[in-house]
Amino acid sequence: MSTTNKVLHAIYNDDDVLMDAVKKTRAAHHHIEEVFTPFPVHGLDKAMGIAPTRLAICAFIYGCTGLSVATWMMNNIMISDWPQDIGGKPSFSYIQNMPAFVPVMFEMTVFFAAHLMVITFYMRSRLWPFKAAENPDVRTTDDHFLMEVAVKGDESEMVSFFEKTGAVEVKVIEKH
C-alpha cells in the first residue's frame, strides 16, 4: 500500500556513507525529499540531482544595477546638479571625471550585489524572521546526517534497503 503522507528518516553518522546512500537511493528510484547535514557536503547537490542555482545571474544583474545607479547618481550630483571645481578638476562632463569616480562605482556595485543577494537568498529559501526551525532531528546540527525519503510501496522493504545503505537508524514518520 502506498501512502504519500509518510516519510522515511534514514540517519547516518558519516558523510561518505551518506553520499553512497544518496547514490544508491537515486539508483533505486526513491524520491529524496531533503537531506539535513551539520556542514556542507561537497557534491551532495549533484548526487541528489539538484539543478544548478541561478543566484550568480542575480548577483551579476544586481551588480550592474548598482553600477548604473552609481553612474546616474554621480553624473547628477557632481556634473548636472551642483558642479564644483575640486582640486582643479573640470566639471564639464562625466567622462573627464570618471577616473575619480571609479571607487564610488566599485563600492556601489558591491553594495547593491551584496545586499540584494542577501534579500534574494532569504526570499528564495523562505527564511523569514522568527520562522520556526524545520530540522526534523536535532542531531543533524551536531554530528549526524539525515536523509528524508518519501515512502512509496512496502515500508518494511524500504526500511531494510536503507539499513543496508549504512544507516545507523531508520524511522518511518507521519508527515503533516
98-116 per-position pLDDT tens digit: 888 899 999 999 999 999 9
* pLDDT given at position 102: 92
Please give the pLDDT value at position 127: 87
The whole-chain average pLDDT of the chain stands at: 89
**What are the pLDDT tens digits along the chain (176 aa)?**
444 689 999 999 999 999 999 999 999 999 999 999 999 999 999 999 998 888 899 999 999 999 999 999 998 988 888 777 777 666 677 787 788 889 999 999 999 999 999 999 999 888 888 888 888 888 988 999 999 999 988 889 999 999 999 999 999 988 77
Quick one: CA torsion of 45, 47, 48, 51, rounded to 10 degrees?
A: 50
Query: Domain locations in the chain?
Result: 6-38+143-174, 55-125
Is the domain spanning 6-38+143-174 CATH 3.30.70.260? The answer is: yes
CA distance 48 to 157: 21
State the DSSP code for 84.
Answer: -
Give the pLDDT score at 90: 66
- The β-bridge partners of 32 are 149
The pTM score is 0.70
* Sign of the dihedral through C-alpha 79, 84, 90, 92: positive
How far apart are alpha carbons 139 and 66 in whole angstroms?
Answer: 42
Helices (H), 36-170: 44-48, 55-74, 94-125, 155-164
